[in-house]
Structure 1
Amino acid sequence: MALAVIVSVLVLTLLSLLRVNVIISILAAGLTAGVMNGESLIDSLEILVNGMGNQASVALSYILLGAFAVAINHSGITSILVGYLLRVLKDKRTFTALVIAAVASLSQNVIPVHIAFIPILIPPLLQLFDRMKIDRRAVATALTFGLKAPYVMLPIGFGLIFHETIQESMGSNGVSLSIGEIAQSLIIPGSGMIVGLFIAIFVTYRKKREPNESDAAHEVNFSDYLEELKSVRFNLLHGLTLVAIAVTLFIQAYFGNLVLAALAGLVLIFIFKIIPFKSGDSVITDGIAMMGTIAFIMLIAGGYANVLTETESVSALVEVSSEYMGDNQVFIAFILLLVGLVVTIGIGSSFATVPILAALFVPICIGAGFSPMATAALIGTAGALGDAGSPASDSTLGPTSGLNADGRHHHIWDTCVPTFIHFNIPLFIFGWVASIIL
């Protein structure tokens, strides 16, 4: 039933905006989609639970990364980094956000660790952000840009995986394109994200953001904090920590397995006695506290995606939409992008939705006379649309995990809403234009 996708995504969105826990919101959306497609409540729940296994590897990797980040933080090496950044950045709020966007961009292509760097880098910087009175929404926007824009535009690292997914999905539906052509088709949509980033940093969140009164209890004496940072000196344990980080990065880049990489890093942390073996329980517990919520949200999101797939809700939505599209390419492109936004905002994964959307979009695009590059632009943009702004996307969950380490950053209102406004809107517009002119 086509309406099931729209209603379930609305349920997810409205509950999230009303500050209902994201896990409960996704569960409600998944059950809504199942029931509206004629499944019983029990059957809908079973379909959802069966689909959770699709994200088990991702969930485990996030928990292990959280533990690894906690261990690195306990080593004290992050204090050296923060001390250096304090000297370099000082009160340069705009420059700080741009640097974070650049660092995040490297995590997708040059050093493909995705969100693994966030729980390591961001929590120690929260004191710096507070001292500078930087708007954390600007940081969230910068992080999400770096997690998303590079893979959309550049066929390197995770970007190569994304572009190959588009290529294979289009090829299996009768349209052939080279990786280079797909990259060219996505330059225009990706440029929209650059515009959105500049608007967020230079306009929307440029002003200082004073802490709320409720944050006063979290404040610490910054002078004492600064003196503490200055007292930290590089030592052998810090050097061994860097070795553990380097091994983790190598395994992730070479084997492409985040679980193995994080596990190897943790093992080395204990072998090098950076953290005493007897502290293992507390490290894992703290890691679960940091990343466990994200891991479980990804599991539930996988179940929700399974409900939409098993009930063929997405294909039904496209079929109903195609009945009203006619042969006007401008209108067809708008509707297809709108469908992509609805589907991906619910599932929360651009990589997972590309094969689904390609199977549905390619026949429509061929019939309407779209060029292969225009078709690729539509599929790539539609797949990427919900990745920013979705409550269930790792592109929003990752930034929140770091920025909310002290409990002062709301996932929906401080990450999802800002990233939706500054990225999905320009991405939609620029993708729409690309589909028309290519």
Structure 2
Amino acid sequence: MAWAVVVSVLVMTILSLLRINVIIAIIAAGLTAGLMNGESLKSSVEILVNGMGGQASVALSYVLLGAFAVAISYSGITSLLVNYLLRALKSRRTMIVFVIAFVASLSQNVIPVHIAFIPILIPPLLKLFDEMKLDRRAVAAALTFGLKAPYVMIPVGFGFLFHETIQEAMDANGISLGIGTIAQSLIIPGSGMIVGLFIAVLITYRRKREAPVLAEADSVVEEPVKSQSFQTKHVWTILAILVTLFIQAFWQNLILAALAGIIIMFIFRVVPFTKGDKVVNDGIGMMGFIAFVMLVASGYANVLTQTESVSALVEISSDYIGDNQAMIAFILLLVGLVVTMGIGSSFATVPILAALFVPICVSAGFSPMATAALIGTAGALGDAGSPASDSTLGPTSGLNADGRHNHIWDTCVPTFLHYNIPLFIFGWATALIL
């Protein structure tokens, strides 16, 4: 059924905004899509569960990464970082947010570790944020910008994979473009996210804000061990981090990278063997929820794919938009926003959208560059703001390490408003200009 995508995404969004657990919201969305396409409740569940394996590797890597982050925190090296930032950036709230956005941007292209740095860097800084009365929503916006804007605009690292995905998907549907040309088509849409970042940091979340006060027991992360000087164990900690970054960048395998880091921390006694169970348990506490959300989101994407809901939505939309290029571009971007909000992955959405968009764009007279801009923008739309996207789950994993940051209202809603709206407007304008 054509409207299954729209209705199911609305179900997920409304339930999430009502503070229903996001896992329950995604399951409800998946079942809704299945039922609206004529599947029974039992078969809908089976399709959803069968699709969960698609993110098994990601889920395991997130859990191991959480354990590695806890081990690093235990070493005390993070307290050195906090003390340095306290001295260097005290009272410079805006500056520290832009520094975080810059560091996050490096994680996509220069050192392609994606969200791997967040549970390592952010939890130790939460105390600093609270002392500065820094609005954590600004930090969430900075992190999501760094996780998304670079891969949209720059064809290096994860950006190369994204642009290559667009290239291959378009080529499979009859349009051949070089990666450099695709990158040029996405510069203007990506620039919209830069505008969104400045609005979020300099206007919307510039004022001081107190984080909610919760009981000490609500936090799953221990305070870092207080350390006033650099010690030998910090050398081994830095070595573990460097090895992890190298393995992830060279072999593109976060499971092996996180596992190697953990092993080094134990071999060199940075973390005593007796603390092994606690480190793993705390790591699961930090990242286990995110891991399971990714599994369920993969199942939901499988429901939409198996029932051909996305193609049905595009077909019915094309029947109403005629040959007006402005309206066609608007509707296609809107479809991309809805689909990616549900699936939660730009990379997974692009091949689906390209197969549907290319014939429509060709018949409507869009240039190849305009078509690439539409596909890339439509795929990227919804990544920010989606409850199931690692571009929002990653920031929440760090900012909510002490239980004082809400995934939906403090990460998803702010990033949706500040990035999807300008990305939509700039992408729409680009499709009409090129």
TM-score where L is the length of structure 2? 0.97
Q: Equivalents in 2 of 1:45, 1:301: separation in Å?
A: 13
Match of 1:326 among 319, 322, 330: 322
Cα deviations by residue, 1:157-199 (Å, 9 ceiling, x for unpaired): 0000000000000000010000100000000000000000000
Q: How does 1:233-272 map to 2 (within 5 A)?
A: 233-272=229-268
AA of the residue aligned to 1:403:
L
Secondary structure at 1:287 match in 2: helix
Counterpart of 1:123 in structure 2 is 123
Please give the per-residue CA displacement for 1:225-248, whole angstroms capped at 9, x wherever unaligned.
99x85x521111100111111010
For 2:111, the aligned partner's letter is I
1:264 deviation in Å?
Answer: 1.0
Answering whether residue 355 of structure 2 is matched by residue 359 of structure 1, we say yes
Deviations 1:11-63 (A, max 9, x none): 00000000000000000000000000000000000000000000000000000
Please give the alpha-carbon distance, in whole angstroms, between the structure 2 residues aligned to 1:106 and 1:160. Answer: 14
Q: Which amino acid aligns with 2:309?
A: S
Cα displacement (A) at 1:384: 0.4
Rounded to whole Å, the distance in 2 between the matches of 1:272 and 1:169 is 47
Question: 1:301-324, CA deviations, whole angstroms, 9 ceiling, x for partnerless residues?
Answer: 000000000000000000000101
- Counterpart residue number, 2:21: 21
Specify the alignment match of 1:7 in structure 2.
7
425, 430, 433: which one pairs with 2:429? 433
- Corresponding residue number in structure 2 for 1:346: 342
Pairwise CA distance, 1:276:
1.3
Match of 2:273 in 1: 277
The answer for the alignment partner of 1:70 in structure 2 is 70
Aligned to 2:412: 416
Q: Deviations over 1:333-358 (max 9, x none)?
A: 00000000000000000000000000
Distance 1:345 1:25 in 2: 13
Deviation string 1:109-166 (CA, Å, 9 cap, x unpaired) is 1111100100000000000000000000000000000000000000010000000000
Q: 2:211·2:404 contact (CA, 8 Å) conserved in 1?
A: no
* CA shift for structure 1 position 211: 3.8
CA distance in 1, matches of 2:254, 2:30: 28
Give the counterpart letter for 1:6 in structure 2.
V
Distance 2:379 2:143 in 1: 19
- How many Å separate the matches in 1 of 2:79 and 2:216? 22
Residue in 1 aligned with 2:144? 144
Provide the residue aligned with 1:222 in structure 2.
Answer: none
Partners in 2 of 1:156 and 1:9 — Cα distance? 32
Q: Within the alignment, does 1:166 sit opposite 2:166 as a pair?
A: yes
User: Equivalents in 2 of 1:156, 1:165: separation in Å?
Assistant: 13
Which one of 386, 389, 406 corresponds to residue 382 of structure 2?
A: 386
Contiguous gaps of at least 5 residues in structure 1: 220-224
Distance 2:109 2:81 in 1: 22
Partner of 1:335: 331
Q: Which amino acid aligns with 1:397?
A: L
For the aligned residue pairs, the C-alpha RMSD in angstroms reads 1.5
Contact persistence 2:61–2:254 (CA under 8 A): yes
* Structure 1 residue 210 displacement after superposition: 2.7
Q: Does 1:111 align with 2:107?
A: no
Whole-angstrom distance in 1 between the partners of 2:410 and 2:419: 14
Matching residue within 307, 310, 319 for 2:306: 310
SS in 1 for 2:321: coil
CA displacement 1:194-230 (0-9 Å, x = unmatched): 0000000000000111344x448699xxxxx99x85x
With over 3 angstroms needed to count, the CA separation of the structure-2 counterparts of 1:60 and 1:211, relative to structure 1, is: closer
| Structure 2 runs not aligned, ≥5 long | none
Give the secondary-structure state (helix, strand or coil) at the position aligned to 1:334.
helix
Q: Distance in 2 between matches of 1:193 and 1:297?
A: 25
Partner of 1:56: 56
Q: Which aligned pairs between 1:70-219 and structure 2 lie closer than 5 A?
A: 70-212=70-212, 214-215=213-214
Of 309-318 and 272-281, deviating more is 272-281
Task: Give the direction of change, closer, same or farther, for the CA distance of 1:283–1:216 in structure 2 (3 Å limit).
Answer: closer
CA distance in 1, matches of 2:97, 2:418: 15
Give the Cα–Cα distance (whole angstroms) in 2 for the partners of residues 211 and 197 of structure 1: 21
Q: Distance in 1 between matches of 2:204 and 2:113?
A: 29
Distance in structure 2 (CA, Å) of the matches to 1:72 and 1:234: 14
2:403 corresponds, among 400, 404, 407, to 407
Task: Give me the whole-angstrom Cα distance separating, in 2, the residues matched to 1:287 and 1:157.
Answer: 27
Runs of at least 4 residues off by over 2 Å:
214-219
How far did residue 4 of structure 1 move?
A: 0.6
Contact kept? 2:166, 2:376, Cα under 8 Å:
yes
Once residues 50 and 150 of structure 1 are traced to their aligned partners in structure 2, the CA distance between those partners, rounded to angstroms, is: 33
TM-score, length basis structure 1: 0.96
Matched, 1:232 2:228: yes
Counterpart AA for 1:121: L
Distance in 2 between the 1:248 and 1:302 partners? 26
Distance 1:244 1:351, change over 3 A: same
User: What one-letter code is carried by the residue in structure 1 that aligns with 2:36?
Assistant: M
The number of residue pairs the alignment matches comes to: 431
Q: CA deviation at 1:278?
A: 2.2
SS in structure 1 at match of 2:320: coil
Q: How many angstroms apart in 2 are the aligned matches of 1:279 and 1:408? A: 26
Which of 370, 376, 380 lines up with 2:372 in the alignment? 376
SS of the aligned residue for 2:385 comes to: coil
Percent of residue pairs bearing the same amino acid type: 77
1:2 Cα deviation after fit: 0.7
